[in-house]
Structure formats: C-alpha cells, structure tokens
Amino acid sequence: MNKVILIGRLTRDPEVRYSAGENSMAIARYTIAVDRRFKRDGEATADFIGCVAFGRQAEFAEKYFRQGIKIAIGGRIQTGSYVNKDGVKVYTTDVVIEDQEFAESKNTQQADNQQMQNRQLPGSERFMNIPDGIDETLPFN
C-alpha cells in the first residue's frame, strides 16, 4: 500500500500550469514544510515535501492556497528521474495529491501571520511614527 498523510505549511504559492492539447488539464506543484516530531539541538526542524496535484485538485490549489497556510494532504509517493540540461540524472520524489484541505481556520491563519510579522520586525519598526504637529488632527489626545 502506498498512502501518505501530511500536515504542513505551504512554502510558497502553488505553481500551476496547464497541459497542452485539446483537453488541457491543470497541474499544480507546491511544497509543504512538515515539522519533525523531535527537535535537534533544541531547535525545530522541518522536511520540505514536494507535492503535485492534477485536475480539480490543482484548480482548487490555484484558487485557494497561498504561502504560509496550513494544509492537510493525502496521496501517494511517486518517484521518478530525468536527465537535466547538464546531462546529469536527477531523481525525484513527490506526493501525488488525492485529497487536500485546510488544516486551520482563516482566523487562525491571520493571527499566525500577524505573529510572524511581529517576530520579524525589530521593536521600533512595529509602530508607525506620527509626525510632529499632527496632534490637533487626531481624534484623541
């Protein structure tokens, strides 16, 4: 049996292309960061898992998935290989998506995004500077 279930965050917006031909099909590729269960040297680590979705699943990903959102996916592992333009054989491993869904509410996503922004900014950059002489136009004192 080849079955995978993962929960993680999108590392970037899905990349969607459409196959050529009369009956073109959407193909979405994205990567999710899945936290490892155990920490190494006290800091969390993650695995970055490549995923590919076809048809309606790809169209759903294109429409609703954005960088940073937490999703749950189900699918199967698929391996492959190709020769790159330098003549080197490259091996691939992807999860072919069978099921995908949001793993948290939109409100939770927005709160998490706000916390991430606050952590990334130095203390003085979290607040807007109010120019001198504007006190009389503010609705409070």
Per-residue pLDDT, 43: 77
What is the predicted pLDDT for the residue at 105?
A: 80
Q: Are 78 and 97 in contact (CB under 8 A)?
A: no
74-88: average pLDDT: 96
Residue 60, SS3?
Answer: helix
Mean pLDDT of 124-136: 54
Integer Cα distance of 113 and 78 in angstroms? 32
Is 89's pLDDT higher than 90?
A: yes
Burial bucket for residue 53 (CB in 10 Å: 0-12, 13-18, 19+): buried
pLDDT of residue 107: 73
**Single pTM value for the model:** 0.72
The pair of structure tokens assigned to 52 is 């590919």
Instruction: Kindly tell me the burial class for residue 32, based on how many C-beta atoms sit within 10 Å of its own C-beta (0-12, 13-18, 19 or more).
Output: buried
- pLDDT number for residue 37: 83
The pLDDT value given to residue 96: 98
Work out the percent of the chain whose per-residue pLDDT is above 90.
64
| Fold of the CATH domain 4-127 | OB fold (Dihydrolipoamide Acetyltransferase, E2P) (2.40.50)
Confidence of residue 67 (pLDDT cuts 50, 70, 90): very high
Structural contact between residues 97 and 57, judged by C-beta atoms closer than 8 angstroms = yes
- Read off φ and ψ for residue 16, nearest 5 degrees: -115, 135
Whether the pLDDT of residue 123 is over 60: the answer is: no
Look at residue 109 in the predicted model and tell me its pLDDT: 63
pLDDT one-digit tens code per residue, 107-120: 766 666 666 666 55
